[in-house]
Amino acid sequence: MKRTTISLPDDVAAALQREASRRRSSVSEIVRLALATHLKQPHERVLPFESLGDSGFRHNTARDMEEILAREWGDAIDRDR
């Protein structure tokens, strides 16, 4: 990974810091994701482990796991093949 230094207007830097805090993420991660999205580069999806055990009102998550993973991660899986 390459380290880069950028200059931001104060209001943009403050908004970036707020967003990182809101997401409980690093400023660097927010910038990487924003740049990858803007440049249409694939980025690695982050699986929200804190909510893995919570399927809400769905009672068939385990049964439908393959279908759910294919729907949510299909593009990433195809890229890795």
Going from N- to C-terminal start, the domains of the chain cover 1-43, 48-81
Q: Which CATH class is domain 1-43?
A: mainly alpha
pLDDT value of position 51: 55
Model pLDDT for residues 35-79, shown as the tens digit of each residue: 888 887 765 666 555 555 555 666 677 777 778 777 777 766 565
pLDDT value of position 40: 79
CA angle 69/67/53 to nearest 5° reads: 55
Report whether 36 contacts 43 (CB < 8 A): yes
pLDDT value of position 81: 56
How far apart are the C-alpha atoms of 29 and 17, rounded to whole Å?
Answer: 11
Report whether 7 contacts 13 (CB < 8 A): no
- Does residue 24 surpass a pLDDT of 70? yes
